[in-house]
Amino acid sequence: MMRLISKNRWTMGLFVVLALLFVVTKIIQPDFGASGVESLARASLPFAFATAAMAVVVIAGGIDLSVASMMAVASVTAAVLMQGASDAMAIPIVILVLVIGVIMGAINGALIVITKVPDIVVTLAMLFVWEGVALLILNAPGGAAADWLEALIVGGTGLLGIPKALIVLAVCVLVVWIPLRRSRLGLSIYAIGSDENAAFRSGIAVGRTRIIAYAICGLFAAMGGLSLTMSTGIGEPIPGPYLLASVAAVVLGGVVLGGGKGGLIGPIVAVFILRLVRMDLTLMSVDPNVTTIVEGTIMVAVVMLGGVLAIRSARS
Amino acid sequence: MNEANSAPAVLDAQGVAKRFGAVSALTDASLTVRAGEVVALMGANGAGKSTFVKILTGALRPDGGHVRIKGRDSTVGNPADARKSGLVPIYQEPSLIPDLDVADNLRLGNTPVEPFLRWVEELGIEGLRLDDMIGDLPLATLRILDLARALAVEPDVLLLDEMTAALPTNLVEQVLRVVRQQADAGRSVIFISHRFAEIAQLCDRATILRDGGTVADLPIEPGIEEKIVELMLGAALERGHIVTSEGQPAHATGRTPRLAVSGLSSGPKLRDVGFDLFPGEVLGVVALEGQGQDELFDVLSGFRRADGGTVRIDGQEASFRHPADAIAKGLTYVPGNRAEALLMERSVRENIALPLLARIRHWGPIRMRDEAARVGEAIDKLQIDTRAQGEVQRLSGGNQQKVTIGRWIATGVETLLLFDPTRGIDVRTKRQIYPLVRELAERGAAILYYTSELDEVQLACDRAIVIFNGRVVDVVDAAHADEQTLMRAAYGLTEQDRAEAVS
């Protein structure tokens, strides 16, 4: 039990920070309640999916700069196809969009594995490619979303007073992540991120595993794109600020940029922390430009503190 | 031996060839292993041994020849398939994933847990937990876990590549015993090691590689070592000779020592070490694993701070807070790990020239002609194989080590701290390194030379200090520093012997 706690110390710490932030928010804004949590959850949803997408490839020792562009492709594809389509048709459309996400991610991964060009270069190039694709599909915000899909995350609370958006996020992430984490494939993703040579020597198909990691990244990005369309009711071809926000949350969430360490829970909690900090600063009517400075400072300070604590505990 | 010969071959590799661009790494390598045999695969560095191992284990695909395991063709392209065909390798570096715990690593390799734990115990590792993170375990334990993991899947052929190199003596004994049992139970083992004693104790036959081809396949019998060395070195054999400086020994000239250390302590391992190192002298340091020698070199090179004691350089007291302080005082550290000392992606030339340029007084434009002349001279002297001169990382390990030491010839050096410079390199390269060290000393350098191979003291050093349990327990002149004397001292047996001898 103690070991379980010490292994997940970082995530535990993030939950504590999040709880403290809620207390702070309540003090700043005494009428902050269920509706506040609901809107926070809904606003955080695309960020959370982008972060999950980024976390998977970073754990595998890579990075994907095209996350936000893939989200845009998914968002406009869904919005264009759903315009004028029946509610029943929305189900195959959602499945199609998810498949497109997997294919986009797999293309990213395959290019990295086959060309041996560094991941950061390949995905930077693909950032522009997917951005172009999104604009080709829909050159200005538009399209529609099925009503029942919007109702899945918008308005009110679901089970036990938990915001609907949070339930959708939990279900989507857990359905992908739990089976993966328990499978040999999931271990392989950690393995290639931790030590690629050792993984190869252990008989892991490194290239195939890397492509799959990028494909899962594409899948989460597609979910993020769908969540955008679901919450706004339209498709948005210009990628939002999800790329850098996802890297920030991944780092804050305890995933080491070198790969092999961390999980998905920490980064997703980190997303809520970063969104809540931003909301609090807005509530205190702090200059938005100061807000970004504060966010950056928090990131460096927290990661540095984590490093100091790790050294301390290694010494004792 | 005769009955083994009649058994069918479990692994049969014939005429294996491999080229890398213009370089032909293997031309005609072959190896046959029968059931119940332990076969040593031997070769000097650069003979193609690593390439051959990679082909056998499926990490590389050969250009020619065939590898058959149990009669089936197995020229596979990846390690997973080689495992399936029954050959399980244990590589020089651990192949466990550092960020996963033991249980996850076992799941990753589909290793059954029960037999794994049984082997871990059998091999003498106690207190292992399945939720221990691999990254937190010491290197020696990881080597044993690698072996246990391999044994647990009951391989037909076990390949051990320098398995014993990082192990303490007691674990080596366990490993050799278990491996021999495997062979006696009818399995086959390919054993790669630089240590003749282990090969003599364990192996039935030796297959010897030279210049990319198999040159001999001999049964192991007493006195075979010299023959094997001859075969490995081929025509290029240069006899090692004991090099000692002529005239008065450097430490008896009454001069100020270049480096005078007394009462040095740091951390739990380094307790009280003192010695004088004079210009023109090579002072050996002999110690078993973990007796404080790592800490000593770390303190002297500024990587670690001393808790107590003094370091004097040319009579001036010095203390180092940073490696730059040590370098400024003329102390140059050459780590045992070559990767820490070289710029792997850069050329041989640049690596040799680097220390020339690193001195502040050389800021400003680089004097290219001067540099080229000195570097060229160094390359000639080092006899570096320049087929792969583009990047140092493409040189063999021995050649890399020659670059790390030889570049100080081009630069000039006052005090050189060599930490096990010949670890893991072949006999021929070793014999080229000793004269390099001597030449540096003759040019006036003071050299501290830690070695894990006791016979090197007489080949390269003037004197040697022996460290045991963090203290200097003996100082021996090279003339008297035969392996037995050093070994007794290194095990801490000297003091009472001395007392007995005096009384």
Print pLDDT tens along chain B (503 aa): 444 455 678 888 899 998 877 667 888 999 999 999 999 998 866 678 888 988 888 888 888 888 888 877 776 667 777 777 888 888 877 789 988 889 999 988 888 999 999 999 988 888 888 888 888 888 888 889 999 999 998 888 999 988 876 677 778 888 999 999 999 998 999 998 867 778 888 899 999 988 888 988 889 888 777 788 778 766 543 444 454 545 556 666 677 888 999 999 988 788 899 999 999 899 999 887 678 888 899 999 888 888 889 999 988 888 888 888 888 888 888 887 777 777 777 777 777 777 666 554 555 566 667 777 777 777 777 666 665 556 777 777 777 878 887 777 777 778 889 988 887 677 777 888 888 888 888 888 899 999 877 778 888 899 999 988 788 988 888 888 777 677 777 766 654 444 444 44
**pTM, entire model:** 0.73
Give yes or no: residues B324 and B435 share one domain. yes
Q: Is B187 helix (H, G, I), strand (E, B) or coil?
A: coil
Domains contained in chain B, number: 2
Interchain contact A260–B (C-beta under 8 A) = yes
Closest CA to B43 of B234, B294, B281: B234
Contact B98 A191 (CB under 8 A): no
**Residue B249 placed within a domain:** no
Q: State the count of interchain CB pairs (< 8 A) between A and B.
A: 61
Cβ atoms within 10 A of the Cβ of B207, count? 23
Same structural domain, B231 and B262: no
What is the spatial distance between Cα A153 and Cα A165, in angstroms, rounded to a whole number? Answer: 5
CA distance B131 to chain A (A): 8
Question: B267 and B217 in one domain?
Answer: no
Which DSSP symbol is given to B238?
-
Domain residue spans in chain A? 36-243+255-260
Name the minimum distance, in Å, from the CA of A210 to any CA of chain B: 16
Q: In what order do the strands lie in the sheet with B463-468?
A: B316-318, B308-313, B259-266, B270-277, B471-477, B463-468, B282-286, B446-451, B415-419, B331-334
User: Both B217 and B291 in a single domain?
Assistant: no
Same domain, B102 and B195: yes
Q: Would you state the structure tokens that stand for residue B454, as one six-digit string?
A: 């006791």
Q: Given the DSSP bridges, would you call strands B205-210 and B213-219 parallel, antiparallel or unpaired? A: antiparallel
Which DSSP state fits B290? Answer: T
Domain with residue B119: its CATH number is 3.40.50.300
DSSP code per residue over chain A: -HHHHHHTHHHHHHHHHHHHHHHHHHHH-TT--HHHHHHHHHHHHHHHHHHHHHHHHHHTT---TTHHHHHHHHHHHHHHHHTT--TTTHHHHHHHHHHHHHHHHHHHHHHHHHH---HHHHHHHHHHHHHHHHHHH-SSSB----HHHHHHHSSSB-GGG-BHHHHHHHHHHHHHHHHHHHSHHHHHHHHHHH-HHHHHHTT--HHHHHHHHHHHHHHHHHHHHHHHHHHHSSB--S--THHHHHHHHHHHTT--TTSS---SHHHHHHHHHHHHHHHHHHHTT--HHHHHHHHHHHHHHHHHHHHHHHHHHHH-
**B206 and B273 belong to one structural domain:** no
Q: In this complex, do B78 and A203 lie within 8 Å of one another by their Cβ atoms?
A: yes
User: Does residue B483 share a domain with residue B439?
Assistant: yes
B498 and B444 co-located in one domain? yes
Q: Is residue B244 part of a domain?
A: no
Q: Specify whether B122 is located in the same domain as B37.
A: yes
Q: Distance (Å, rounded) from C-alpha B65 to C-alpha B71?
A: 14
ipTM over 0.90: no
Measure the CA–CA gap between A161 and A152, rounded to whole angstroms. Answer: 14
- The continuous run of DSSP H or E covering B216 comes out as strand B213-219
Residues of chain B contacting residue A61, judged by C-beta atoms under 8 Å apart: none
CA distance A196 to A209: 11
Mapped onto helix, strand or coil, the DSSP state of residue B196 is helix
pLDDT of residue B385: 63
The verdict on B374 and B330 lying in the same domain is yes
Which residue matches tokens 């939990």? A170
Helices A34-59 & A206-232 angle (0-180, nearest 10)? 160
Does one domain contain both B215 and B284? no
- In this complex, do B100 and A198 lie within 8 Å of one another by their Cβ atoms? no
* Inter-chain touch B97–A194, beta carbons under 8 Å: yes
Question: A187 to chain B: which residues are within 8 Å by CB?
Answer: 97, 100, 104, 107-108
| Structural domain boundaries enclosing B16 | 2-236
Which residue type does B113 have? V
DSSP state of B252: G
pLDDT of residue A36: 85
